[in-house]
Amino acid sequence: MKYLRILWEGLIPNNPVFILALGLCSTLAVTLKVENAFFMAVMVGVTTVASSVAVAFVRYRIPFRFRLLSYMLIIVTVVIAVEQSLRALFPEVARALGPYVGLIVTNCVVMGRLEAFAASHRPLEAFFDALGVAFGYAAVLLSIASIRELLGNATLWGLRVAPDFYIPCRVFNSPPGAFIVFAALLVVVNWLRAMSRRQS
């Protein structure tokens, strides 16, 4: 039960994007298409989980004043492995994501979990925390990307799903469109949280 609670905390109550407002830059930048959002979510998730477990294992061996540098080195190692794997297996996706893959190193979602949780908990607890955060981050990316791609291109994962009479609204393919969708979803999330508090 303890591990399920840790998983749930990262997924909903402490969602990295909607609640903690972390990783907003990459969230808005890579959500033009569902495919790009999916691969970015997977890469951030793998990086977060691997880095959290690694930090939890060596947490007592890292001097306090060198902890951020140590976290960064661990993250860089994982990101390089993930980026090279993506380039080898999915070169088109790697080109579409461009520099945002390398910028996972500075993603606040990853560093935030290392500092706030992994550095003070056991590896298994750090694993479930990172997994919950990864799922929460993925849910946000895929939600925004699905809405933007559907409204902006009438497609999902590159396949047309809207009726023939639907005319795509190209504003959702632009940065302002990303902010509009994010703001709308944030309103819904805050409304649901308010309703939940009233019922409890």
The 8-class DSSP code of residue 168 comes to P
Q: What pLDDT is attached to residue 109?
A: 86
130 confidence band (pLDDT: 50, 70, 90) = very high
SS3 156: strand
Calculate the average pLDDT of the chain.
88
- Cα distance between residue 34 and residue 68, in whole Å: 33
Q: Does residue 41 contact residue 134 with C-beta atoms inside 8 Å?
A: yes
189-200 per-position pLDDT tens digit: 889 888 878 876
- Cα distance between residue 17 and residue 15, in whole Å: 6
65-83 per-position pLDDT tens digit: 888 889 999 999 999 998 8
Contacts of 196 (CB under 8 A, 6+ apart): none
* Helix residue ranges per DSSP H, the chain: 2-11, 24-29, 34-58, 67-89, 91-97, 108-116, 123-153, 175-199
Q: What pLDDT is attached to residue 73?
A: 92
- Cα distance between residue 134 and residue 118, in whole Å: 14
What is the mean pLDDT of the segment spanning 171-193? Answer: 90
- Cα distance between residue 110 and residue 78, in whole Å: 11
